[in-house]
Structure 1
Amino acid sequence: MQLSRANLADIIYFLAIAKHQSFSRASVEVGISASALSHAMKGLEARLGVRLLNRTTRSVTLTAAGEELQGLVSHPLTDISNALETLNRLRDEPAGRIRLNVLSDGAKLLLGPVLPVFVERYPDIEVDLTVTNRMIDVIGEGHDAGIRFGGTVPSDMIAQRLSPDVRWSVVGTPCYLERFGVPTHPEQLKAHRCLKIRLGNARLYDWEFVKDGQKLEVQVPGAITIDETRVGVALVTRGAGLMYVPERVIARYIEDGTVQEVLKDWAHTDPGFHIYYSSFRQVPVGLRLLIDLIRELEPMGPLPR
């Protein structure tokens, strides 16, 4: 089989399917529909005369021939991609696309102030954002990098800090506090209505507190469980209960009196937002420029020196 443009494209599609083991996820990476990918693979298999993929209604796996093809072609194509990226860095005007998976608070606090400046400065770089609190295999899902709190970054990734540490606040409306009382110790939260938090790994979060070297984790009660800060803010500002939230997210509501902070002397601080990416992939030039711009603008304040 000759290496025509169509065959090269089909091999790239094949590698995406092999990586994700899913037509739908591979289609997001390569930019064509899942049905078009399936049609392309059938054509490639017909031209090669071997079956590359085992297809079921729920999964896609490689045959022995598919595994052999993946091993033979993945490294050369990676080398070509890296070579093109190296040339791209020599351009006067940087171009390309970066795919980011971002925690919703990070999207609001970090990227909200920075991206308008970024697209003005680098108009030929596309930014593809997936905003979610769900913990996923960022690289396996086709993203160049992820942005999370420092304590949740996978240990096998390269991480760079993008913000100072994040202070957490417990807040409620004045009407709620007048009705149910103001807690003065974290254990008193067990008598309150709290907005429980589901983490990206589906585990319920125990609210953390620190004072004078003493650390507490409280399994708070509540009828409502959230996994997204914006929903929590909408609920807490309407008196649904107490919320545990990054101070920067809720600051303007504290300032205008919509909510009041309680347990200030027990406030917990977490490592700030970090961007992370694989040590086995070359960092796209656009990602490097975005990191540099975030550190230049410091949207959440100066980084620790």
Structure 2
Amino acid sequence: MKDAHQSKAGDFLALSVFLSVAAHRSFRAAAIELDVTPSAVSHSIKVLEQRLAVRLFNRTTRSVSLTDAGERLAIKLRPAMTSISEAMREVDEFRETPSGTVRINASEGAIRWVIWPALMRFLREHPLVHLDIVSDGKLSDIVAGGFDAGIRLGEAVPQDMVAIRLTGDVRFAAVATPAYFNAHGRPVVPQDLHAHDCIRFRFDSGTIYRWEFERRGTAESINVNGRMTLSDQPLMVDAAIEGVGIAFVPEHLAEAALSDGRLERVLTDWCPAYPGLHLYYPGHRHVSSGLRALIAALRIGE
């Protein structure tokens, strides 16, 4: 008689579903990642729990959390499932053309700046590759989240990752309309911003961004005030153009409005350049043909 825990057909899929729910702490998020319905995820977990005769998740109407047994199973499973996935990816190298799913985690701004311009040409040239792009401003752990790679500013890339530069340096710009500055004056040093109406930025985590400046080795971090807070930087530019106040955004987003005079910048000598956007992935992980093709399509010449 076979052992009740012996692998059977469908176990790999069920365990993949389990790890996805464990990573997201959400049946719905796991369903989105796996491209199935939430009910299919729920059914898969229910069948797995019945087979193992143990509860893996604590569920309420508001939250999903791992039980002690579920936590132990997830810890044991992750390395094994990663090895299986890596083996499958290596077999992919024998294909003549790139194929498979490439999961990318990036901020919305990074997606619009570096992926979107090359997206349609990439999909036309690589019809067997499926791109799964997740917009995320939380600086998520790409390994725990099951992503092939992430895209972030160079200073935000974990040190143990392989990083490939995609853009030049990034500078921020403090901008507002000429009319705003005529009415309220121009800040000369960062501390002057406390007397101005500033358009604040909220990260996906809920944290309000403190405006960061530096000049001649002196750094300033300002917790600005203002009547508007947004979580979308292009909208911050639009709000500044409408005269709401001063926005602090990546320079390239305001470039058009600065060129035609709708916006003017201040504190220019306090806005240093930061390392640009980088695509990064774990150094120990096999790089699939699909990810290599995407890197080739996105990277700038060195």
Calculate the TM-score normalised by the size of structure 1.
0.85
1:12 Cα shift? 3.0
Alignment CA distance shift 1:22-1:206 (3 Å): closer
User: Partner of 2:174 in structure 1?
Assistant: 170
Deviation sequence 1:73-128 (CA, Å, 0-9, x none): 65554333222211212211211111212112212221122222321221221112
State the secondary structure of the residue aligned to 1:163.
coil
Deviation sequence 1:223-252 (CA, Å, 0-9, x none): 212222022012011111111111111111
User: Partner of 2:54 in structure 1?
Assistant: 51
Q: Contact conserved, 1:95 with 1:122, CA < 8 A, in 2? A: yes
Q: Contact conserved, 1:198 with 1:205, CA < 8 A, in 2? A: yes
Deviation sequence 1:160-206 (CA, Å, 0-9, x none): 32222101111111221221122333232222111122345433333
1:156 Cα shift? 4.5
Q: Contact conserved, 1:52 with 1:66, CA < 8 A, in 2? A: no
State the secondary structure of the residue aligned to 1:81.
helix
Q: Contact conserved, 1:104 with 1:229, CA < 8 A, in 2? A: no
Of 31, 49, 66, the residue aligned with 1:61 is: 66
Q: Contact conserved, 1:20 with 1:140, CA < 8 A, in 2? A: no
- Counterpart code for 2:29: R
Q: Contact conserved, 2:106 with 2:134, CA < 8 A, in 1? A: yes
1:274 Cα shift? 1.7
Q: Contact conserved, 2:197 with 2:225, CA < 8 A, in 1? A: yes
* Aligned counterparts, 1:198-213, within 5 A: 198-213=202-217
Structure 1: distance between partners of 2:47 and 2:204: 39
Structure 1: distance between partners of 2:80 and 2:156: 34
Query: Is the deviation greater in 248-257 or in 56-65?
Result: 56-65
> Is 1:286 equivalent to 2:286 in the alignment?
no
Alignment CA distance shift 1:63-1:249 (3 Å): same
Aligned residues: 296
Structure 1: distance between partners of 2:192 and 2:67: 55
Query: Is the deviation greater in 83-92 or in 8-17?
Result: 8-17
Calculate the TM-score normalised by the size of structure 2.
0.85
Structure 2: distance between partners of 1:8 and 1:206: 45
Structure 2: distance between partners of 1:197 and 1:64: 40
Of 18, 33, 40, the residue aligned with 1:36 is: 40
Structure 2: distance between partners of 1:55 and 1:258: 54
Gap runs ≥5 in structure 1? none
Structure 1: distance between partners of 2:194 and 2:64: 44
- Counterpart code for 1:59: V
Computed over aligned residues only, the root mean square deviation of the Cα atoms, in angstroms, reads 2.7
Of 114, 117, 121, the residue aligned with 2:118 is: 114
1:68 Cα shift? 5.2
Alignment CA distance shift 1:176-1:19 (3 Å): closer
> Is 1:22 equivalent to 2:42 in the alignment?
no
> Is 1:261 equivalent to 2:257 in the alignment?
no
Alignment CA distance shift 1:173-1:35 (3 Å): same
